[in-house]
Amino acid sequence: MNLDVLMEAAEGNVDFARELAALYLSGIEEQLNLLRMALAERAMERIGHIAHYCKGSSVTCGALALAELFHQLSQLAQQNQFDECSRVAADVVVEFGRVQETLRALPQTQGAPT
């Protein structure tokens, strides 16, 4: 997790970074639910689209290891390699847990100016 990327996107504002992180986390959670359904249905095209979308969001928030996993997942879906998609999707869930811990540990507030 590269928090510098997130802070740059938030223009250095910790409160805004927390808002961005919260939006990112809820969006990825929703996408992971869709990914689970797509995997259950073996819907390779949907798996690829979800992975591509999540990769971009992850890069923007600095979750670079997670972005790389989503990239791999997207590529595997394009190659119709379902078993490998399932393996990488499991890795995605583990890495997302790490990202959640990191982003939820951001300071609560920047503090009011005195």
Question: Residues 69-78: pLDDT tens digits?
Answer: 999 999 999 9
Q: 42 near 75, Cβ under 8 Å?
A: no
98, containing H or E segment: helix 82-104
Nearest residue to 7 via CA among 56, 61, 88: 61
Whether pTM exceeds 0.85: yes
Nearest residue to 113 via CA among 13, 22, 3: 13
pLDDT on residue 77: 96
In this structure, what DSSP letter does residue 106 have?
Answer: S
pLDDT tens digits for range 86-111: 999 999 999 999 999 999 888 765 54
pLDDT on residue 107: 76
What residue type is assigned to position 9 of the chain?
Answer: A
pLDDT, mean over the chain: 91
Retrieve residue 32's tokens. Answer: 């992971």
Retrieve residue 46's tokens. Answer: 């949907």
Res. 114: pLDDT tops 60: no
pLDDT tens digits for range 2-42: 888 998 989 988 889 999 999 999 999 999 999 999 999 99
Q: 65 near 1, Cβ under 8 Å?
A: yes
Calculate mean pLDDT across residues 55-84: 95
Calculate mean pLDDT across residues 64-85: 96
Q: 88 near 55, Cβ under 8 Å?
A: no
Give the C-alpha separation, 91 to 114, whole Å. Answer: 45
Retrieve residue 26's tokens. Answer: 């809820």
pLDDT on residue 37: 97
